[in-house]
Amino acid sequence: MPFSRLTCLAAAIALLTPASPVLADTVEVRPPDVSRIPQDRRQSLFDEAVATSVSLEVCATTPDDLTVEEAEILWISGLALAESQGISESELYATHYERARRMFDSQPERCAHYSGNLRPLVMTLVGYGAAPVFIE
């Protein structure tokens, strides 16, 4: 698929722009490459997400070794559940984005392993905030 000049320019700007905790109101949701994550690790993530409370305190203590790919699995599963309940992706993202912003502002030391990147934190909050649908 050919890329337009505008697409290439946008990609170049994105690559040259330093990471910032400020995100757009929406996030691109793409299927994660779950094949790179061992099956037992995926299962434990989902078991933990199902058993975890929705409280901000619990969400703030997500494991330091949670990768972006694993956070994406939680995001996709949380999104699938929300859609089954009639909640749009933009509503879901906006709610958890605001929670993530408050966490960064009030507890920066507890969010340090996210390195100023709200995207995986938002995805993690979505996943831990909803009983996930297991993705094969």
- Each of the 136 residues of the chain gets a pLDDT tens digit; together they read 343 443 433 444 443 344 444 444 444 444 445 566 666 766 666 555 544 433 333 344 444 455 656 666 666 666 666 666 777 767 766 766 676 677 667 766 656 555 555 555 666 666 554 433 322 2
- Compute the distance between CA of residue 108 and CA of residue 113 in angstroms, rounded to an integer: 10
Q: How many CB atoms lie within 10 A of CB 28?
A: 6
- Element at 132 (helix H, strand E): none
pLDDT of residue 120: 58
The residue with tokens 């649908």 is 133
Counting other chains too, the contacts that 58-65 makes at CB distance below 8 Å and 24 or more residues apart are 58/128, 59/99, 59/103, 59/124, 59/125, 59/128, 59/129, 60/103, 60/107, 60/110, 60/111, 61/110, 62/121, 62/124, 62/128, 64/113
Give every CB contact of residue 17 below 8 A, 6+ residues apart in sequence. none
Q: Are 86 and 42 in contact (CB under 8 A)?
A: no
